[in-house]
Amino acid sequence: MVGSPIRLGLIGGNIAESKAPELHVIAGRLCGLPVTYELLRPDDFGRSFEDVLWQCRDDGFRGVNITYPYKERVVAHLAVADPAVQAMGACNTVLFEPGGPRGLNTDYSGFIVGYRNTFGNASPGRVALAGAGGVGRAIGFALARLGADELRLFDLDPQKAEALADAIRAVHGHTVIRISESVEEAAGGADGLVNATPLGMGGIGGCPFPPELIAGQRWAFDAIYTPVDTPFMLAARAAGLAAMSGYELFLYQGTDAFQHFTGRNVAEDRLRAELMRAHDRVPV
């Protein structure tokens, strides 16, 4: 590997356990590129999110990933070319370019790839989606793109759910969108259960769908990947649901972001094997 390191980072809140540095550094090594990747919590610096974002630009970062709770907040500062990402109003990947920062959403593209690789061409059917924040918006749009018949949205802030419903309807009119007043209402008769809330994350804990609601559905997905075996994933598997862990989204959104950052495509099978070795486990 030669040349100056490609400097990357992640700006977010609860990111101490993030495996993103490993993913990008290993991907760089596999492609023969020197890569550094930093975890950046604005609270640690006593500075605003915007201050940290612009400091990354001024310090020569090639780009940064954005995670909870800043995926929606960052959009106001970016040029976003993809009409679907414009409509969803959330970005998780920022490229610092001469003409100004550009925003993308690899949660959206990564979820689509992960779903197809896990569940094949099966329609998502009727889906209960808990959480209408940054990652929830990306997943909601991805599910509509995948041909979901119906999305039942639940968020503790009903206005967020309504805003997401309106945004999806404007782009994907074929998918029926309903606002649910509770997770119980959303889950009843659903084919799929999706967690796009922080519940289950290391340091937060909890389960978005109480175990007694998890029965009779076909599939489940949890956006949380630290830990991989969240209470929700464990309960879904125990109930016999086909499950896609947040690790799959982590992997595919990461490889997509890496391609945007570097212009290089990393071999997914080799990267997965290296990450498994680094984590001393096989994610499921």
Helices (H), the chain: 20-30, 42-45, 49-58, 83-88, 106-119, 134-145, 158-171, 183-187, 231-238, 246-262, 268-279
Which domains are present in the chain?
6-105+253-279 (3.40.50.10860), 108-247 (3.40.50.720)
pLDDT in tens, 194-235: 999 999 998 899 999 999 999 999 999 999 998 999 999 999
Q: Are 264 and 256 a contacting pair, CB within 8 Å? A: no
Q: Are 261 and 62 a contacting pair, CB within 8 Å? A: yes
pLDDT in tens, 129-184: 999 999 999 999 999 999 999 999 999 999 999 999 999 999 998 999 999 999 99
User: How sure is the predictor about 278, in pLDDT bands with cuts at 50, 70 and 90?
Assistant: confident
Residue from 277, 212, 254, 273 nearest 65 by CA: 254
Dihedral angle of Cα 223, 226, 228, 233, to the nearest 10 degrees: -50
Does residue 227 have a cis peptide bond before it, meaning omega lies within 30 degrees of 0?
yes
Residue percentage of the chain with pLDDT more than 90? 92
User: For residue 38, which amino acid is it?
Assistant: E
Q: Which active-site residues does the annotation give?
A: 70
Distance between CA atoms of residues 130 and 222, nearest Å: 10
Q: What global pTM score does this model have?
A: 0.92
pLDDT in tens, 57-102: 999 999 999 998 999 999 999 999 999 999 999 999 999 999 999 9
Q: Are 196 and 129 a contacting pair, CB within 8 Å? A: yes
pLDDT in tens, 251-265: 999 999 999 999 999
- Category of 58 on φ-ψ map: left (φ > 0), alpha (ψ -120 to 50) or beta: alpha
- CB-count exposure of residue 253 (10 Å: 0-12, 13-18, 19+): buried
